[in-house]
Amino acid sequence: MSTDPSTPAAPALALAQGRFAGPAEFAQCIRQALAAAASQGWREIVCCDPDFADWPLGERAVAQALNDWSRGGRKFTLLAGDYGAIARQHARFVTWRRTWSHIVECRKNAAHPADSLPSVLWGPNWVVERLDTARSTGVAGADAERRALVKNRLDEFLLRSTAAFPATVLGL
């Protein structure tokens, strides 16, 4: 990072605030969040969804944002009911996950039906939550109270979860 005062600082990435509607707006929220995580140095990201089928995890820009974000001291947690869609649809994410398996934890919650899991990306400064997954409508924002409530709910699901979606499959 330059300390030269004549060098302009990179502009802060604007994250969506308020309601969003539709798959395109939801996907854009996810892209923005991961880009912001990289540029702002978020220490932790938690993503939860029944299957991540309609998340933009396989996109080149998302993989690049995750690469830019990845470094020591970071933690990325995924919680899903089923990881089949990720394996089938998001090859770039699977490759990134394999490379960075030491900072990525994948969990499965068998205590609840997969469709009861929230669809959320939580970060320390911002959260996006789909309230209706069928219509991809929800709320995004930096409200501290909302972030705390979402994090508490995610922590409860994570407490009853088990390791899943290994980075590599060893066989004989």
pLDDT in tens, 80-94: 999 999 999 999 999
Could you give the residue ranges of the DSSP H alpha helices within the chain?
23-40, 60-69, 84-89, 91-99, 144-159
What are the pLDDT digits (tens) for 150-163?
999 999 999 999 99
Q: How far apart are CA 157 and CA 47, in angstroms?
A: 12
CB 115 within 8 A of CB 81: yes
Segment 7-14 shows an average pLDDT of 49
Q: In which band, very low, low, confident or very high, does the pLDDT at 115 lie, cut at 50, 70 and 90?
A: confident
Exposed (0-12), middle (13-18) or buried (19+): which is 150, by Cβ within 10 Å?
A: buried
Average pLDDT over residues 25-52: 96
Of the candidates 50, 80, 76, the one whose C-alpha atom is nearest the C-alpha of residue 63 is: 76
pLDDT given at position 170: 61
- With a pLDDT cut of 70, the percent of the chain lying above it is 90
* Structure tokens given for 127: 């959260």
User: pLDDT band at residue 2, thresholds of 50, 70 and 90?
Assistant: very low
End-to-end CA distance of the chain: 48
Band of the pLDDT at 167, cuts 50, 70, 90?
confident
Query: What SS3 state is found at 18?
Result: strand
Q: How far apart are CA 115 and CA 109, in angstroms?
A: 11
Q: What are phi and psi of 50, to 5 degrees?
A: -55, -40
- What is the pLDDT at residue 113? 75
Residue 64 CA to residue 69 CA, distance in Å, equals: 9
Give the model's confidence band at 116: pLDDT under 50 very low, under 70 low, under 90 confident, else very high: confident
Q: What is the mean pLDDT of residues 39-56?
A: 96
pTM here is 0.88
Q: What is the mean pLDDT of residues 115-127?
A: 94
Question: What is the Cα–Cα distance from 26 to 142, expressed in whole angstroms?
Answer: 16
The confidence score (pLDDT) of residue 123 equals 96
What structural domains does the chain harbor? 26-163 (3.30.870.10)
Average pLDDT over residues 114-120: 88
CA distances from 66 to 114, 135, 171 (A): 25, 26, 29
Provide the 10 A C-beta neighbour count for residue 29.
24
Average pLDDT over the chain, rounded to an integer: 89
Cα(16)–Cα(142) distance, rounded to whole angstroms?
Answer: 9
Average pLDDT in the 13-39 region?
93
